[in-house]
Structure 1
């Protein structure tokens, strides 16, 4: 068995109940015979005060539940559309030669996996100290923390394979400065400290209704030539990091492009895992406008098909701009007969005209 067989991705859901009860119901479903690497909760707090208090509840429960083996923990303020609370779990079935270490930095748990193939970092839940500070300041704080963890553990910044970026009110402007563009500028500043000769990470930049800035990431440093990462382009789309000024907003008179690849794969002796970035109905660099949800979903799935080749989808996250789109989106995706875990969240997409965004993971 290699990495592609040992890494598992799953989605757990629970009905609407008191927050603590929903958390307990989700934790009770987790596998007991695997190392839990990442827990990402998706819920709907009423305001940022409740968001912070629920984040504290989660931390306390996870610490009590896992003791010295705390996985990465994130709480994303995105209202679930198919559950009261959603939990996405990344876990690993350890074998001979696998060494998993659980560590902390500044109160944030992270995990390092080491084996003959390389070293793998699972980190996240990174957020600024003060949720009411501006997006620019929060973004800079978060990237500083990421840099410190990676430096401590010996992972170059360009070893990031997959990054998830959650941005409160992503398309909103503070004066002349758009939230997403402020985040992109901060990411470009952080990434600019190194070269990316093997492509940027796969990434999602998606809206959250509350919660400020929140970032999760996976990184890898490979130990054998048969194990490596590959950036993946979509011939139907312009690479996001090559967008023209025409499709970018401004923040502090800067227009840094979104620094990510359409997908990125990790190969292990011919097997590979493909991380599909947040994908939408964009052809070239332009959105498909005025075509409706069904057409946008179809084009999005065509884009994903271009990225994964012969790999098989293992999990999808679906972000919908309007709650009312849920039933139609679910029925349309059921028509693809995927038979995989799918979560549905109500979230702002990075362009106003986009109605849906989908990300996922595939394995070949």
Structure 2
């Protein structure tokens, strides 16, 4: 069995905080699900060995799949749900078909060289990673879990946020102070996105999140979990123990307008600063101008370029650039656009671990959206180490 596929990784390392690694793997497309999974596991093991990644350092894995209802039961019991030392890993399984033609693709995040790193599973949906006095809460696969009846989208959204809020409260945190990033997946987004936004705005207002304080970096995109009647699914990343001066929000009003201008509540990007590095979380970003209007309607290549220009502007606001991107996810409304976007991506961002998936954006006229995480050098010994 040919297990060649595609593997690309990128690492960032410093003496004090250890190294971080992002890995993207796509198996060969001409295999069945079990064969693709076996190849994915094989190439993942080989990549870990090449990067000298120790057992216990796997933090987060997201599997992009073509048919979650049929594939998730097998994947939940695969080796991706735990690390080599049987320690927990935050596993996200989301139906967003990889446009390489495979049934599944992997995005993995590892930390190495951190002697004090520990992991524990709080619930099936929550894994906390402790390191250098901070607690990193990874929340994956929050969904109502209903296979019998459909709950209104507004109620589904509130239920997910209430679950996250309760978990943070148990750790001594709040949504306002500690949630850094969310990924919200909405089935049939052209129909249900507005209801999700309405409910999220109500939750945020109750939690003290507003245009006068701040929102949360986020992607709201089409996707699905494995439950038939669930419309909304959420992943989230929160940090307990951060000092206020470690957090800032990324904007460039010469390129993009505030999100409140078109009645949505998320930050364009969030920067978390540490003594030796900064993490920059770039929200889902499309081809939009500083007036909130869609740029280059109908032209996916020009929209893609403009979206990357916007990402570059946000990164620049956080003293970083496209070269610091550690991974990129590209969401396409129309899968037939994949060949051209794949070529454009390889020309503009060679060497960046990237996955292109089918994921319609919240406005039908947006043909493409991108998101990513960058890590840049930072020198501030007054801050805690990563």
TM-score by length of 1: 0.84
Deviation, 1:62, is: 4.2
Quickly say closer, same or farther: Cα 1:352–1:93, change in 2 above 3 A.
Answer: same
Q: Does 1:42 find its partner at 2:64? A: yes
For residue 171 of structure 1, give the secondary structure of its aligned residue in structure 2: helix
Quickly say closer, same or farther: Cα 1:191–1:145, change in 2 above 3 A.
Answer: same
**Aligned match of 1:93:** 112
**Aligned match of 1:303:** 310
Q: How does 1:314-329 map to 2 (within 5 A)?
A: 314-329=326-341
Quickly say closer, same or farther: Cα 1:14–1:100, change in 2 above 3 A.
Answer: same
Q: 5+ residue gaps in structure 2?
A: 1-13, 377-386
Looking at structure 1, the residues matched to 172 and 166 of structure 2 have their Cα atoms a distance apart, in angstroms, of: 10
Contact 1:198–1:230, Cα closer than 8 Å, also in 2: no
Q: Does 1:276 find its partner at 2:282? A: yes
Contact 1:4–1:273, Cα closer than 8 Å, also in 2: no
Q: Does 1:165 find its partner at 2:184? A: yes
Q: Does 1:266 find its partner at 2:309? A: no
Q: Does 1:123 find its partner at 2:139? A: yes
Quickly say closer, same or farther: Cα 1:213–1:115, change in 2 above 3 A.
Answer: same
**Aligned match of 2:5:** none
The correspondence for 1:335, drawn from 341, 347, 351, is 347
**Aligned match of 2:379:** none
Q: How does 1:140-155 map to 2 (within 5 A)?
A: 140-155=158-173
Looking at structure 2, the residues matched to 171 and 233 of structure 1 have their Cα atoms a distance apart, in angstroms, of: 27
After superposition, the C-alpha distances for 1:92-117 in whole angstroms (9 at most, x for unaligned) are: 11523x33222132x3242232314x
Give the number of equivalent residue pairs: 336
Q: CA RMSD in A?
A: 2.4
The correspondence for 1:27, drawn from 38, 41, 46, is 41
Contact 1:169–1:210, Cα closer than 8 Å, also in 2: no
**Aligned match of 1:114:** 131
Q: How does 1:31-70 map to 2 (within 5 A)?
A: 31=48, 32-33=53-54, 35-45=57-67, 51-62=68-79, 65-66=82-83, 68-70=86-88
The correspondence for 1:350, drawn from 352, 358, 362, is 362
Q: 5+ residue gaps in structure 1?
A: 46-50, 173-178, 245-256
Looking at structure 1, the residues matched to 16 and 296 of structure 2 have their Cα atoms a distance apart, in angstroms, of: 40
After superposition, the C-alpha distances for 1:35-74 in whole angstroms (9 at most, x for unaligned) are: 21111111111xxxxx334222222224875485221111
Looking at structure 1, the residues matched to 232 and 39 of structure 2 have their Cα atoms a distance apart, in angstroms, of: 27
Contact 1:150–1:156, Cα closer than 8 Å, also in 2: yes
After superposition, the C-alpha distances for 1:101-137 in whole angstroms (9 at most, x for unaligned) are: 22132x3242232314x32211111111215524233
